[in-house]
Structure 1
Amino acid sequence: MSFLQLSEEIKDKIIGFRRHLHQYPELSFLEYRTAEFVADILEEYEIDVERNVAGTGVVGTIIGGQPGRTIALRADMDALPIEENTRLSFSSSNAGVMHACGHDFHTSILLGTAIILSKHKDQLKGNIKLIFQPGEEKLTGAKKMIEAGVLHNPNVDAIIALHCWPELPAGVVGVRKGPITAAADFLEITIKGKSGHAAHPHKCVDPIVIAGHVVSALQTVVSREIAPTDPAVVTIGKINGGTASNVIPSSVHLSGMIRTVNPDLQKRMPEIIERIVCKSAESMNGEAEVRYTSATPPLICNDGMVALIDNVVTDLLGGDQLVYLENPSLGSEDFSFYANEIPGVLFRLGTHNEREDSRFPLHNSRVTFAEEALTTGVAVMCEAAVRYLSPKKSPMVNIID
């Protein structure tokens, strides 16, 4: 019996998990009810559980019947501060909070994977760590989990994660060698001028005018400082300044984000940004302060781990269910912290069907996800974990006698 068949047998249970989690979403590092739900299910299936890891994280460990390597499987649990507008029967009951990025899917899939593999742990060669992570949307949860020691005791040799992807049909798997998501850096700028009466601008240094020039100048970073073949995005998302229409303020504050997929470029960006911002302000008799914070590195998938998912999907689902993604996403994923420590791969799980709202992008208040993709995610996770632990066995490793 294949893992696809086994996942179909518990399909209703997995859907039940997903709907419960979707109805009770929790924000980053506030996943108390979610973590309790996850830990209780793991314990029900006699999986060793560690609660309250890095605050609200949960780690389960399945010890195989034979010694061997350790593979980690990761799911993120947090939701977004979005008011849900899907009209699903199991819509969010928490006002202003929604699972609009599919983390309820990810968590439910890993729970289903845990249930299946725990029933056959005596036949496993090696160990499986189940990492249920908080705070991915803050891009800090993975780092906190690593600092808490989740990659040790036993030491983890490789790691796998998946992410819902409305751009692909339900059940199709997308992979990519090299970078699959971008680095995310935060930018805070304070522009200082000289305040005064709006009728006498010549006696002032207007930080609002300077801010306008800075925003325009920052767009030349991508067009003139970076090779056209190197994807990058510079976005200013917030500007605060001024108190009245007839007053030139003394300062203006801008906030933004920088996305890059090249690690070397990520290192260069702080100097480029500070030079453009400060020199622009200086040219107009103002001053500028720049605070540049690197949040997460680009997620670069290990070639060997990509090949593992390729082989698993081709053998388990058929070659027509595997897609190599041409371009990386300029969105970010803190799974990159794990992949910087050990070989890792994140694969995309297609989640759209004939429903129009299943094609809405991630972080949209109306997006839904096709539940028929849940069992595909479970089957691929199970097969990939077992095949990693038993690399010398033939394709379609069957741990069930």
Structure 2
Amino acid sequence: MFDSVIPAIKDSETEMIALRHHLHMNPELSLEEFKTADLVASLLETWGYNVTREIGKTGVVGSLKKGNSVKSIGLRADMDALPIHETNSFPWSSTVPGKMHACGHDGHTTILLAAAKYIASPDCLFDGHVHVIFQPAEEAYGGADLMVKEGLFERFPCDCIFALHNMPGIPAGKFGFYSGNFMASADTVKITINGYGGHGAYPNRTVDPVVTGAAVVMALQSIVSRNVPPGETAVVSVGTFHSGIASNVIPDHASLELTVRAMKQEIRDLLISRIKELADFTARSYGASCVVEVYDSYPVLINTDEYTRFAQELAIKTFGADAVIDEIHPVNGSEDFAFMLQKRPGSYFLLGNGDKEAKGGCMVHNPGYDFNDEIISVGASFFARLVESHCR
């Protein structure tokens, strides 16, 4: 696949690697991507794009038209970093304590910039409109949803839209495609249990939210095993349980936070419904009450059959059959590009970051992770070929 990189993109590889390293050294968290957005906008303007700023607070869209066709395509990259302290000692390691690009969004931004530079050049032959979308806040707040709600596709019409994510564990530069329900929905559920506190020596005079909370935790374990049909993907995990300040004091309140995942909307609805019912019934059975709140919700990411086939066939045509993984499976991770795919057809695909033992093999969201610079030109070339193939 490396032999099929577009020559002009290969020629700018050193420049783009330096850009990626700059972004890695200067990470910005969700909705704080001000300097990143400034840099992206400046480069796009230099290359001749019509640039729109502050969509979804820090989002940037570059638009370019060639020819007379009404065909249009959107390419999206995420820009935000994570609140993780980097443990690497590269020359380009994060210079901001407690913040790092631990998911490769510095690489995704660079890939789209490298593609955008070539797309704007006379070498790229297409007829239509291209919108390069640099999205904030994928890791939190649902930046894609923010951009959609601010009229992204009304202002920048797209026949179809594409995005990629690097994937450690897949050989560097290889592609993975999946049609249909590819990534899980993600809901964060907070359960607040209200009891009646008192002295630990007199539990009979209290309504203990700790005991109630423990019972709720155990009751929740029955949802997937006893309510979800076998074979369906569903996860209900309790991640936090907070209550109390002293060993001899029974507190008034306890709070639990859960992550809830599903691959189908009907299963997602079932999980949320049962969580609310079980928490309420269990709390009342112990004499307590509870409040259940659902927030930070990402929908199931559903790739359109037509455009996933289009992208996969193009990858095989461009890079060869060996460059495409024969079979990949749906994953329980979530991705807010799902909001964009709810509004426009398209596909979200994987690009290998490296085998486990090789460079780029460390999993994302790890303090030792780093994006593999070798795949920048591969991803950029494929984005450019998507434009040339759709808009012709």
TM-score w.r.t. the length of structure 1 is 0.93
The residue that corresponds to 2:173 in the other structure is 171
Contact kept? 2:176, 2:328, Cα under 8 Å: no
Moved more, 120-129 or 271-280: 120-129
Contact kept? 1:191, 1:289, Cα under 8 Å: yes
Out of 162, 180, 188, the position equivalent to 1:186 is 188
Q: Distance in 1 between matches of 2:298 and 2:228?
A: 20
Query: Which residues in structure 2 correspond to 1:336-375 (within 5 Å)?
Result: 336-353=338-355, 358-375=360-377
The residue that corresponds to 2:290 in the other structure is 288
Once the 2 structures are TM-superposed, how far is the Cα of residue 324 of structure 1 from its aligned partner? 4.5
Write the letter of the residue equivalent to 2:225: S
Query: Which residues in structure 2 correspond to 1:265-276 (within 5 Å)?
Result: 265-276=267-278
Query: Which residues in structure 2 correspond to 1:234-249 (within 5 Å)?
Result: 234-249=236-251
Moved more, 225-234 or 111-120: 225-234
Q: Deviations over 1:235-260 (max 9, x none)?
A: 22112111211011111011121111
Out of 10, 13, 16, the position equivalent to 1:14 is 16
The residue that corresponds to 2:257 in the other structure is 255
TM-score w.r.t. the length of structure 2 is 0.95
The residue that corresponds to 1:136 in the other structure is 138
The residue that corresponds to 2:384 in the other structure is 382
Moved more, 96-105 or 324-333: 324-333
Q: SS of the residue aligned with 1:68?
A: coil
Change (3 A) 1:241 1:296: same
The residue that corresponds to 1:298 in the other structure is 300
Change (3 A) 1:121 1:56: farther
The answer on 1:199 being equivalent to 2:195 is no
Q: SS of the residue aligned with 2:272?
A: helix
Q: Unmatched 5+ residue regions in structure 1? A: 391-401
The residue that corresponds to 1:393 in the other structure is none
Change (3 A) 1:193 1:377: same
Q: Deviations over 1:226-283 (max 9, x none)?
A: 1221111112211211121101111101112111110111222221111111111122
Once the 2 structures are TM-superposed, how far is the Cα of residue 306 of structure 1 from its aligned partner? 0.8
Once the 2 structures are TM-superposed, how far is the Cα of residue 209 of structure 1 from its aligned partner? 1.0
Change (3 A) 1:78 1:288: same
The residue that corresponds to 1:328 in the other structure is 330
Moved more, 202-211 or 155-164: 202-211
Q: How many residues of Structure 1 are paired with residues of Structure 2 in the alignment?
A: 390
Out of 113, 118, 121, the position equivalent to 1:119 is 121
The residue that corresponds to 2:26 in the other structure is 24
Q: Distance in 2 between matches of 1:263 and 1:120?
A: 45
Write the letter of the residue equivalent to 1:47: Y
The percent identity for this pair of structures is 36
Q: Distance in 1 between matches of 2:296 and 2:94?
A: 32
* Runs of 4+ residues deviating >6 angstroms: none
Write the letter of the residue equivalent to 1:31: E
Q: SS of the residue aligned with 1:373?
A: helix
Contact kept? 1:63, 1:121, Cα under 8 Å: no
